[in-house]
Amino acid sequence: MLAKNGANVLEVHNLKTRFHTHDGTIHAVNGVSFELKEGELLGIVGESGCGKSVTVMSLLKLIPIPPGEIVDGRATFHGRDLIAMSANEIRHVRGHQIGFIFQDPMTSLNPVMTIGQQIMEPIRAHLGKSRDEARDDAIRLLRMIGIPMAEARLDDYPHQFSGGMRQRVMIAIALSCIPQVLIADEPTTALDVTIQAQIIDLIKQLRRELGMSIIWITHDLGIVAGIADRVIVMYGGYIVEQAPVKELYANPKHPYTQGLLGSLPRLEERMAERLTNIKGQPPNLFSEPTSCPFAPRCPYVFERCLEENPALWPISSNHKVACWLEIKE
């Protein structure tokens, strides 16, 4: 569902984020670059600790500073660099132009504020509406996301909602100002499978109706296959592969992507085949790699992999990979 002109709504270049701890500096994000097009749903996948969430939270300055620090990079949105914005400037972007659905609805909602107050707050802050107007908008949003008896539930507190309903409320808050970009950080992780399916269907419906661009962060490749236009695969704070979703699943090039897809159960003729696993452990991020970060776990490793970290390289017009096996120089 990409816009016809395919214009970029967000461009991220060479983003680097560090966390300074008592044990040393964690190199969480290491020169990440990507773009998000109008109307596109971009999936970002990878195992826990690969830098997915830190990447998008850095864009909106949601990481704690200190210990966090954005040491390099820019993120161009409407001609302005989000990274260079002051705290006051980025506050006007968050929630208004870029919405954010946090990972855990159990802890992301304020337990001492009603649901209505939490939905109305960004409407009044960013759109300048009166209390009555914001309340009407909040009721409309609750109805849009499928909360029954919306007007009566507006004055309830988060503990009076189920996990799935709390996640719907988080979506309502993120959509309250009809942002151009919606970032969903593993929005279905804490939910059971049935509720996951409902939330995914809801996001698909809202995307069709509102035409917004979406960044969907997850470790679940099954979800990405059904919703994304394009996929970014991250490992050790780097992007190791980037391609349209059908191309990535049909023709994965990076050994890490191949390992992730090989670990998925498939309903095919080869049901007797064992699932593959990726041996070894994730990289130690206390030092920035000078070799390929996946080399210690890679079944195809050779000498150059241990000497030099490959850049993300185009192997076709819309497929990029950071692997010496694929880079032809």
Does the structure show a pLDDT above 80 at 276? no
User: With pLDDT > 70 as the criterion, what percentage of the chain qualifies?
Assistant: 92
- For the segment 190-200, the average pLDDT, to the nearest whole number, is 75
- For the segment 285-305, the average pLDDT, to the nearest whole number, is 87
User: Measured between alpha carbons, how far is 42 from 45 in angstroms, rounded to an integer?
Assistant: 10
Does the structure show a pLDDT above 80 at 265? no
Does the structure show a pLDDT above 90 at 328? no
1 or 80, higher pLDDT: 80
Does the structure show a pLDDT above 70 at 271? no
Residues 99 and 203 sit within 8 Å (Cβ to Cβ):
no
Helix (H, G, I), strand (E, B), or coil: what is residue 76? strand
User: Measured between alpha carbons, how far is 323 from 233 in angstroms, rounded to an integer?
Assistant: 13
- For the segment 9-27, the average pLDDT, to the nearest whole number, is 92
Does the structure show a pLDDT above 50 at 1? no
Q: Give Rg (Cα) of the chain.
A: 21
Cα distances (angstroms) measured from residue 187 to each of 102, 103, 149, 182, 267: 7, 5, 24, 12, 26
> Which of these ranges, 20-29, 45-54, 193-202, 300-309, has the smallest mean pLDDT?
193-202
pLDDT given for residue 14 in this prediction: 94
pLDDT given for residue 248 in this prediction: 92
- DSSP code of 219? S
pTM given for the model: 0.86
User: Measured between alpha carbons, how far is 261 from 74 in angstroms, rounded to an integer?
Assistant: 31
Task: Report the 10 Å Cβ neighbour count for 5.
Answer: 9
User: Measured between alpha carbons, how far is 319 from 251 in angstroms, rounded to an integer?
Assistant: 10
Residues in the chain: 329
pLDDT given for residue 175 in this prediction: 82
**Bond from prior residue into 255 cis (ω within 30 degrees of 0):** no
- For the segment 284-297, the average pLDDT, to the nearest whole number, is 87
- Residues 97-136: pLDDT tens digits? 888 887 766 677 888 889 889 889 888 888 888 888 888 9
User: Measured between alpha carbons, how far is 164 from 198 in angstroms, rounded to an integer?
Assistant: 9
- For the segment 216-223, the average pLDDT, to the nearest whole number, is 85
